[in-house]
Chain A
């Protein structure tokens, strides 16, 4: 299976009929032909794109402008046999058109249309010399397929990157760190926590501790049904990291199941500051912060 590689690589090896020297010669001839007929072929291609109702999210001018760039990159890839420039162009193009709502099938479609347009122009030019036509197609086809794959894969990878970023942004929005009183932060966690979300929560919390100069943090996990050992371990790390920033962490809403998970991974629950529910946790936090009058001898220290 051929995949677009990030390393520089050359065109596939020759067929039995045509030597590599001939292939190189034919490709040069092909490239010359494509350059000579650049204007007509581009226009033909742009017309066919519109006819096939592709890239409808873009205006005719935009389609023609992009068609020009793709065409030139295409021809250059054929000429040099290297695909780096085409790859980076296709990622760049994808970056621009994905927000416009262009779909994968459209991108694959237009590249295949270009391949067809160019193939037909080869037929038109060499129809009198069948043998020559065959040999030039021998040279053209593998390269054209390679190009189509490079562009399509570049587009898909860019889409995946965009989706990852969007997911990250959504996660960030959905995990608020709340400052309810001076020096006190609350982090209510609801739902499923996967490793990425856990990491994000911790980063937000630590930055929140610093920004708000929090001395006590209440992490409420009432809304968390279950936690695997990795996420449970992550919770412990979060508590430890918060302490390094001078904040005491109180965990509230610990279900018996999650308590068991913590014990299973070796956590000494007597060392972790836990309170049954969020309200109780806030009261404990206020007590630690000195909001209520407490005999000095009984108060906890920070270490």
Chain B
């Protein structure tokens, strides 16, 4: 079966050209469960420094935790990049979670199954999408997955 490239994204009302962060960026390798905690603590710290509300800091940390967890569970290893973005005078946090794992065979389905529908199975992607202001996913069977999300200040 040929490798399929699936992309899904929604800007959710924010006009953006690209997902590359324009400011500083943290790179956290995800190789073990401890890295999940490390990634979300660093993400929260950056969000705090940027001046996001406590509520949004928790949201960013929660999203990072889930995305990092997915990497470990489905790809064994990967990395999380947390950075600052600017667009149209707004600033925010960008999180990119990527791995070279098996990829998601059915991205549409993955985006429909949330924790509340499947118990604790599934990747929680609809939940992460609901938490963040913008969400984009690229996954190629056999070539890995990249999830890009943002939270504006």
Whether A6 contacts B55 by the Cβ 8 Å rule is no
Against A, the Cβ 8 Å flags (1 = close, 0 = not) of B69-107 are 000000000000000001111100000000000000000
Cα–Cα, bound, A260→B105 (Å): 36
Whether A160 contacts B89 by the Cβ 8 Å rule is yes
Whether B22 contacts A7 by the Cβ 8 Å rule is yes
Whether B55 contacts A161 by the Cβ 8 Å rule is no
Against B, the Cβ 8 Å flags (1 = close, 0 = not) of A135-166 are 00000000000000000001001101100000
Q: Nearest Cβ in chain B — how far from A172, in angstroms?
A: 12
Q: A6-B22, A7-B22 are in contact. Are A203 and B89 (CB under 8 A)?
A: no
Q: Which residue of B lies closest to A157 (CB)?
A: B89
Task: Report chain B residues within 8 Å CB of A161.
Answer: 89-90
Task: Report chain B residues within 8 Å CB of A6.
Answer: 22, 86-87
Task: Report chain A residues within 8 Å CB of B87.
Answer: 6
Cα–Cα, bound, A121→B55 (Å): 54
Q: Nearest Cβ in chain A — how far from B23, in angstroms?
A: 9
Q: Nearest Cβ in chain B — how far from A90, in angstroms?
A: 11
Task: Report chain B residues within 8 Å CB of A160.
Answer: 89
Cα–Cα, bound, A6→B21 (Å): 11
Whether B22 contacts A157 by the Cβ 8 Å rule is no
Task: Report chain A residues within 8 Å CB of B89.
Answer: 91, 154, 157-158, 160-161
Q: Nearest Cβ in chain B — how far from A201, in angstroms?
A: 13
Q: Nearest Cβ in chain A — how far from B51, in angstroms?
A: 12
Cα–Cα, bound, A100→B27 (Å): 43
Against B, the Cβ 8 Å flags (1 = close, 0 = not) of A158-181 are 101100000000000000000000
Q: Which of A6, A157, A160, A161 has the most CB of B within 10 A?
A: A6
Task: Report chain B residues within 8 Å CB of A158.
Answer: 89
Whether A157 contacts B88 by the Cβ 8 Å rule is yes
Q: Which residue of A lies closest to B13 (CB)?
A: A195
Task: Report chain B residues within 8 Å CB of A7.
Answer: 22
Task: Report chain B residues within 8 Å CB of A154.
Answer: 89
Task: Report chain A residues within 8 Å CB of B88.
Answer: 157
Task: Report chain B residues within 8 Å CB of A203.
Answer: 55
Cα–Cα, bound, A158→B89 (Å): 8
Cα–Cα, bound, A27→B2 (Å): 57
Cα–Cα, bound, A158→B22 (Å): 19
Cα–Cα, bound, A154→B22 (Å): 18
Cα–Cα, bound, A131→B90 (Å): 44
Cα–Cα, bound, A7→B22 (Å): 7
Against A, the Cβ 8 Å flags (1 = close, 0 = not) of B1-38 are 00000000000000000000010000000000000000
Cα–Cα, bound, A6→B84 (Å): 12
Q: Nearest Cβ in chain A — how far from B75, in angstroms?
A: 30
Cα–Cα, bound, A158→B86 (Å): 14
Residues in A182-227 with C-beta less than 8 Å from chain B = 203
Against B, the Cβ 8 Å flags (1 = close, 0 = not) of A1-28 are 0000011000000000000000000000
What are 13 of the A-B contact pairs (CB < 8 Å)? A6-B22, A6-B86, A6-B87, A7-B22, A91-B89, A154-B89, A157-B88, A157-B89, A158-B89, A160-B89, A161-B89, A161-B90, A203-B55
Residues of B within 8 A of A (CB): 22, 55, 86-90
The 6 residue pairs across chains A and B that have the minimum distance between CB atoms: A157-B89, A6-B86, A6-B22, A203-B55, A7-B22, A161-B89
